[in-house]
Chains A and B, each alone.
Chain A
Amino acid sequence: MEILAILLICAGLFFYLTGTIGLLRLPDFYARMHATGKSDTLGTLLSLIGLAMYTGLSLTSIKILFIAIFVFLTSPTATHAILRAAFDSKVPPWTKDGKPLREGKGKGI
């Protein structure tokens, strides 16, 4: 049980690490939000579940799981709000071909 918890926490830390490396390496504001806003969600989820396992089944672990659920709900909303704010104040997105907008033509849409 403890080994599993340690593995989960390490996996969570790995995703935190990639998020930070992404923050440093990616070219512009929008792309950086991809790294920080999202790797953190999975990182937080994994490390919190690891912690909940480490404490065993108790009121504390149930509270930890609630924190995980709330992070899961609020984190994408916050990421969206920050990015939307940048979009509204006309921060130009970094692109390779200079044309940021592409039309999506999918099968189901």
Chain B
Amino acid sequence: MVFLTTFLILFGFWIFLSGHFDLFHLFLGVFSCALVSRISGNLFFSQGRVKQAHFLQGIRFFRYLPWLLYQIVLANLHMALLVLHPKMMEKIDPHIVRFRTRLKSDLPLTTFANSITLTPGTITLLIHEGYFYVHAIDQKVADDLLTGEMEQRVAQIYQEE
């Protein structure tokens, strides 16, 4: 069942992207989609089935995206300024910051970790026993992260307390 759903989604996407309907291209599509579904079908729907809560999470996630994009642009400009600054070596202060997180399940943790990595100046190194290890380029970006606003917003998407 999981195999079939994954296969159908992938094959629909294949047809949409390829736009060729001759036998050769369709066969290539069937072959590669079946191979991918066989190998990674259980990654796609790890809980076995799709619940209604997932749709609500999806909607809230799209409401989170504009804020994330805004943060990325801001942080990228900060990074560009830092890199182009003549006295760069005085301004940067790279270190690893460790802080406790209250997120628990995999999906919120992944979203939060990827959001941290996407905003320039901070990269998630490791998540270990409820602690985040984040490499930050200077104290300002680390402080921005430690206000907890991003974590708050990610927690709100998945309704985690």
Contacts and interface: CB of A to CB of B under 8 A. Distances in A.
Interface of A: 14-15, 18, 21-22, 25-28, 30-31, 33-35, 37-39, 41-42, 59, 63, 66, 72-73, 75-77, 79-80, 83-84, 87, 93-96, 99-109
Contacts, number: 136
Contacts of B96: 93, 100-102
A80 B80 contact: no
A50 B98 CA distance: 38
Contact of B97 (A21, A30, A76, A102): A102
Of A34, A94, A100, chain B has the most CB atoms within 10 Å of the CB of: A34
Interface of B: 17, 19, 72-73, 76, 79-80, 83-84, 88-89, 92-102, 113-114, 117-121, 123-126, 133, 135, 137, 142-143, 145-149, 151-152
Main secondary structure of the interface of A (DSSP, over half): helix
Contact of B151 (A42, A105, A108): A108
B154 to A, nearest CB: 12
A22 B146 contact: no
B160 to A, nearest CB: 14
